[in-house]
Amino acid sequence: MYGLTLYILFPGRSSFSTQYPNVQFAWSYKTNYLNAICSIFHQEGSIAEVVSGFEYEKARSLGIPGHKIIFNGPHKSDGELQRAFSENAVVNIDSFQELYRAENVAKSMGKTATIGIRLNMDTGTYPRWYKFGFDLERNQAFEAVARISKSKWLSLSGLHAHIGTFMLDPKAYAIQVRKMIEFMTRIESLLDCTIDTLDIGGGFPSKNRLKGSYMPPEIAVPKVEEFADTICSTLLENLPSGRRPKLYLETGRHLIDEAGYLITSLIAEKQLPYNRTAYFLDSGITNLYTGNWYDFSIRPGETTDGIPEITTLYGPLCMNIDVVAESISLPPMSVGSPLVIWPVGAYNVTQWMQFITYRPAVVLITEEGTMELIRRREKLSDITTPEEIPEHLLPNEHEGSSHA
């Protein structure tokens, strides 16, 4: 019905809860921006967190008003800034150049734009993300706030930071929160500003297994409650008495990765040297972008007899690098046997590549157990529609015909 290769998404209810009294979750569009998936999280109360004009448009097309969109990222065009300001989106400025452009845009609109700034800081994690935001330790963040406080066209109301991805140490968030509160207290006492929102970002891990990890994710990955408890307790312990700025938490991988499965089928087998069997699948690395960092769980999709043996799994691409699993223990299988690859719900649908083969369909299994198609299998017109071919390169309908 849907083709041999198939993504299945089975999102459940969010288990991420907090003890902080003023919290707002924001769904990270870049993690999985299928319309149906975004709509599920919006129905559960999440606003949108976007990092590009494309994602901003996608959120608006789903009926999310501007004031319920957090606009992050290092690149926002003047037109995108103007739209975000006019629609009262939460815009977090990433650099001095963007700050100057935002001021000019607001001036051209004749309105004072309310903004936030992104911070980067040392939380003891490696590697530190220097790419995004204003460096807290080198005083760039203070200089940015000082510049904003002197502007007639900009007003600072929020601080934002996102310290990493697939974070495994909740204590890093405690350091982040303390530094953000210390900075908030400093700028409010020295400069003309009041901070209404603290955006802690995201980066919360799933039960995927990092390559090179000796411990299984059940041991290596902390429970999400540990992150929530650490963030909330640090906030409550360090905020001034009576101050409870709104807390934004940007959720993504933790909520969708384990809900995603890729169903693929065995299309051929070959015998390799050293008495090893290789199986060829109808889905490869173009559909499994996060396989660069994670060792997925790969299991037969049906009961199979036989003694497991070390096997190599190849994808269907005409590229030698299309290796789904270099060395994996699997029982003997035959052509047509299904395999289930998990967890793949985060970042694979948004980063998959159209290369050589069509991208597969995606179905959603609801809480009631019904199956719904939320993205059909790709077809040729999806790829060729944006193309333009010059008239002199159009196929000649008479070419190849016989002449007297």
Contact by Cβ (8 Å): 110, 89: no
Q: Are residues 53 and 184 in the same domain?
A: yes
Q: Is the pLDDT of residue 119 over 50?
A: yes
Model confidence pLDDT, tens digit, residues 268-315: 999 999 889 999 999 999 999 999 999 999 999 998 889 999 999 999
Task: Return d(Cα 243, Cα 239) in angstroms, integer.
Answer: 6
* 357-395 burial: b if 16+ Cβ within 10 Å, else e: bebbbbbbeeeeeeeeebbebbeeeeeeeeeeeeeeeee
Q: Is the pLDDT of residue 12 over 80?
A: no
Q: Is the pLDDT of residue 4 over 90?
A: no
Contact by Cβ (8 Å): 184, 243: no
Residue 393 in domain:
no
pLDDT band per the 50, 70, 90 thresholds, residue 367:
confident
Q: Are residues 227 and 266 in the same domain?
A: no
Task: Return d(Cα 31, Cα 19) in angstroms, integer.
Answer: 25
Q: Are residues 170 and 316 in the same domain?
A: no
Count of residues for the chain?
A: 404
Model confidence pLDDT, tens digit, residues 179-188: 999 999 999 9
Q: Are residues 178 and 207 in the same domain?
A: yes
The model carries a pTM of 0.93
Q: Give the residue carrying structure tokens 């129905």.
A: 43
Contact by Cβ (8 Å): 325, 313: yes
User: Residue 77 maps to which CATH number?
Assistant: 3.20.20.10
Residue 402 in domain:
no
Q: Are residues 219 and 309 in the same domain?
A: no
Task: Return d(Cα 248, Cα 28) in angstroms, integer.
Answer: 12
Q: Is the pLDDT of residue 13 over 60?
A: no
- Other CB atoms within a 10 A radius of the CB of residue 399 amount to 6
Residue 270's domain spans which residues? 258-384
Q: Are residues 91 and 155 in the same domain?
A: yes
Closest CA to 50 of 73, 32, 66: 73
Closest CA to 261 of 294, 286, 296: 296
Q: Which residues pair with 268 in a beta bridge?
A: 280
Q: For the chain, give the percent of residues with pLDDT over 90.
A: 85
Q: Are residues 241 and 265 in the same domain?
A: no
Residue 403 in domain:
no
Task: Classify 151 as helix, strand or coil.
Answer: coil
What was the pLDDT predicted at 179?
A: 98
Average pLDDT value for the chain? 93
What was the pLDDT predicted at 397?
A: 66
What was the pLDDT predicted at 88?
A: 98
- 35-43 vs 53-61: helix crossing angle, rounded to 10: 70
Q: Is the pLDDT of residue 10 over 80?
A: no
Q: Are residues 262 and 225 in the same domain?
A: no
Residue 396 in domain:
no
> What is the pLDDT averaged over residues 197-223?
93
Residue 7 in domain:
no
Closest CA to 178 of 200, 201, 205, 204: 200
Model confidence pLDDT, tens digit, residues 108-118: 999 999 999 99
Q: Is the pLDDT of residue 400 over 80?
A: no
Model confidence pLDDT, tens digit, residues 69-102: 999 999 999 999 999 999 999 999 999 999 999 9
Q: Give the residue carrying structure tokens 């290789």.
A: 278
What was the pLDDT predicted at 404?
A: 45
Lowest mean pLDDT among 2-11, 119-128, 330-339: 2-11
Contact by Cβ (8 Å): 228, 147: no
* Start-to-end C-alpha separation, the chain: 49
Q: Are residues 282 and 241 in the same domain?
A: no
Number of domains in the chain: 2
Lowest mean pLDDT among 91-95, 198-202, 257-261, 303-307: 303-307
Q: Are residues 238 and 316 in the same domain?
A: no
What was the pLDDT predicted at 316?
A: 96
Where are any strands of DSSP class E within 167-208? 197-199
HSE-up of residue 45 (Cα within 13 Å, Cβ side): 9
Q: Are residues 193 and 277 in the same domain?
A: no
* Angle, CA 26 vertex, CA 372 and CA 111 arms, to 5°: 125
| Contacts for 313-316: CB closer than 8 Å, 24+ residues apart | 313/278, 313/279, 313/281, 313/339, 314/278, 314/279, 314/280, 314/281, 314/284, 315/280, 315/281, 315/283, 315/284, 315/285, 315/286, 316/267, 316/280, 316/281, 316/282, 316/283, 316/284, 316/356, 316/357
Q: Is the pLDDT of residue 22 over 50?
A: yes
Lowest mean pLDDT among 91-95, 183-187, 340-344, 395-399: 395-399
> What is the pLDDT averaged over residues 2-11?
66
Cα-based torsion angle of the residue sequence 95, 97, 101, 104 in order, rounded to the nearest 10 degrees: 110
Contact by Cβ (8 Å): 127, 111: no
User: Residue 354 maps to which CATH number?
Assistant: 2.40.37.10
At 236, phi and psi to the nearest 5? -65, -30
Task: Return d(Cα 25, Cα 48) in angstroms, integer.
Answer: 9
> What is the pLDDT averaged over residues 185-196?
96
Tell me the Cα Rg of the chain: 25
What was the pLDDT predicted at 222?
A: 94
Residue 397 in domain:
no
Residues 6+ apart with CB under 8 A from 338: 263, 264, 265, 266, 300, 301, 302
Q: Are residues 239 and 272 in the same domain?
A: no
Task: Return d(Cα 56, Cα 64) in angstroms, integer.
Answer: 9
Residue 391 in domain:
no
